[in-house]
Amino acid sequence: MDSQKDRKAAILAATLSSLWTDTEPAVRERVTAIALADADAISDIFYAVLLDRPDSNTFLNHTLVQERLRPSLARWIGALFTASTDEAIAAVLEQNYQVGLIHARINIPLTLVNAGMRIIKKELSARLLAANLSRAQTAAAILFVGELLDTVLDNMHEAYLGDLLGNVRHQQSLKMFMSGPNLALEGERLKSSLFDWLRNTVVSFYAHDDSNRANPPGIESSDFGLWLNHKAELTFGRVTELDRIRERTDRIGAKVSAAVEGGWITPAFVKELNNDVTEIAYLLGTVIGKAMEIEGGRDPLTRLLTRRFMPAIFQREVSISLRHGKPFAVLLMDADHFKTINDTLGHQAGDSVLTDMAELLHAHVRAGDFVFRYGGEEFLLLLTEMDEASLRMKSERLRRMVEEHPFHGAGDGLRVTASIGAALHDGHPDYEHTVRRADAALYEAKRQGRNRVVIG
């Protein structure tokens, strides 16, 4: 893959080099001077236009533009139109390739990328038309700008499409992973959660004072509801049974709210509610039964999700967070002094610690959360619908749970501690931004002495 990337980069570099060589020096110098002088103004116009487009609202806001994106674009324009040497051209192409990867990672539509490049081309061309150049030089300058921008756009698209195709493959693998044999156990857990919700709801109907209104738990915030909103489609794709489950779940939530509001909770209503929940459990069993034969892509040691599934999952969670205002959290956990365990007790003991820790984590997260083997002795948890207080409480509970757990598979009750760094999604469209903040928090937890939680 890298050699293919290098070959294509070499072709693009040769194109840019020829473009600089074949263009009249006076024309190049004038284009460069205008680009450098007007980079800030062009950047302002670029984002003013895009901020008015409905399809860019998800990715842009005024604070983000003013603090980071506008100055970055101005610097990019300056670098692009001064890159006349082989070294500078190579640096520009690599930067553009990384920009293309970021566009793919945050799922910016190609149409929006193309629209942005057209704005830059239009603004530079307008300034060249107003410059004191001959007709031939003006035409040459506009052609130079067009060829240069089209070439770097090809460079961005190369990265974008490559990452996009890889992500599609990972989404297919992810679906296979989520539909493995453990799904049967997960299905029973979800059904149990659903009937727990029903029981708690019925209790709330009849166990409150006459002066107070019943306050049943929301089905959407139950373990089953979180799974339905965050994991179900990743597991099964868009299937009819899932649409029916979602439709009936929404209907149940509306019926319970209406019954509480109207005060008409009766035994007949409770029986109807029980029938609705039983029907959802039946549909869930049906869709799980259809998916039971598919499996693939698990981490061979811990059986957790692997890093290659992160783009598909995180892009969806970013979209949910931005759309509904319910942020997710990233929690990075690292087993402390793990090398010492390997060196003194052997790698088999180390593997046993990791498998025990993976089972521990998976057993103590909600059905809508995700647990990844992030690498080595490091685990990543994506915790859906979190706030800072809940994140602190959950992180500390997991840290204490590891500290108190006897890892019998690695000897006679070996004690292991873990450092945790966590961060709440702050609205940034690139999920790596949140992961990096959690990683920095993990580094700080280790620096402070390990076996502690730091929130980024």
Residue range(s) defining the domain that contains residue 71: 2-176
Please give the Cα distance from 93 to 101 (Å, whole number): 12
pLDDT confidence band for 291 (50 / 70 / 90): low
Please give the Cα distance from 168 to 315 (Å, whole number): 12
Q: Give the helix/strand (H/E) hosting 453.
A: strand 453-455
**6: in domain:** yes
User: Do 167 and 187 share a domain, yes or no?
Assistant: no
Is residue 456 classed as helix, strand or coil in its secondary structure?
coil
Q: Is the pLDDT of residue 171 over 60?
A: no
Written as one letter, the residue type at 156 is M
Average pLDDT over residues 269-291: 85
Please give the Cα distance from 408 to 400 (Å, whole number): 17
**259: in domain:** yes
Residue with the bigger pLDDT between 357 and 56: it is 357
**297: in domain:** no
* pLDDT reported for residue 161: 66
Burial environment of residue 249 by CB neighbours within 10 A (0 to 12, 13 to 18, 19 or more): buried
* pLDDT reported for residue 162: 63
Please give the Cα distance from 292 to 368 (Å, whole number): 19
Q: Is the pLDDT of residue 425 over 90?
A: yes
**300: in domain:** no
Burial environment of residue 334 by CB neighbours within 10 A (0 to 12, 13 to 18, 19 or more): buried
User: Do 134 and 39 share a domain, yes or no?
Assistant: yes
Q: Is the pLDDT of residue 168 over 50?
A: no
CB 59 within 8 A of CB 106: yes
CB 217 within 8 A of CB 204: yes
User: Do 35 and 129 share a domain, yes or no?
Assistant: yes
The CATH number for 23's domain is: 1.10.490.10
**299: in domain:** no
User: Do 118 and 168 share a domain, yes or no?
Assistant: yes
CA separation, residue 359 to residues 128, 175, 236, 372, 405 (Å): 64, 21, 23, 12, 12
| pLDDT tens digits along 366-379 | 888 899 999 889 99
Q: Which of 80-84, 107-111, 421-425 has the highest mean pLDDT?
A: 421-425
Q: Is the pLDDT of residue 36 over 90?
A: yes
* pLDDT reported for residue 60: 75
Between the CA atoms of 243, 247, 253 and 256, what dihedral angle is there, to the nearest 10 degrees? -140
* pLDDT reported for residue 69: 84
To the nearest 10 degrees (0 to 180), the angle between helices 223-230 and 182-206 is 130
User: Do 314 and 258 share a domain, yes or no?
Assistant: no
User: Do 321 and 419 share a domain, yes or no?
Assistant: yes
Residue with the bigger pLDDT between 240 and 393: it is 393
User: Do 158 and 14 share a domain, yes or no?
Assistant: yes
pLDDT confidence band for 294 (50 / 70 / 90): very low
Where is the domain boundary, 129, 145, 176?
Answer: 176
User: Do 12 and 45 share a domain, yes or no?
Assistant: yes
* pLDDT reported for residue 206: 78
The CATH number for 371's domain is: 3.30.70.270
Where is the domain boundary, 176, 198, 226?
Answer: 176
Where is the domain boundary, 176, 194, 209?
Answer: 176
Domain count, the chain: 3
Burial environment of residue 248 by CB neighbours within 10 A (0 to 12, 13 to 18, 19 or more): middle
User: Do 172 and 187 share a domain, yes or no?
Assistant: no
User: Do 211 and 271 share a domain, yes or no?
Assistant: yes
Please give the Cα distance from 251 to 9 (Å, whole number): 54
**234: in domain:** yes
Is residue 141 classed as helix, strand or coil in its secondary structure?
helix
Query: Number of C-alpha atoms within 13 angstroms, CB side, residue 1?
Result: 6
**296: in domain:** no
Q: Is the pLDDT of residue 82 over 70?
A: yes
User: Do 334 and 281 share a domain, yes or no?
Assistant: no
Portion of the chain with pLDDT greater than 70, in percent: 89
Q: Is the pLDDT of residue 179 over 60?
A: no
**313: in domain:** yes
User: Do 166 and 186 share a domain, yes or no?
Assistant: no
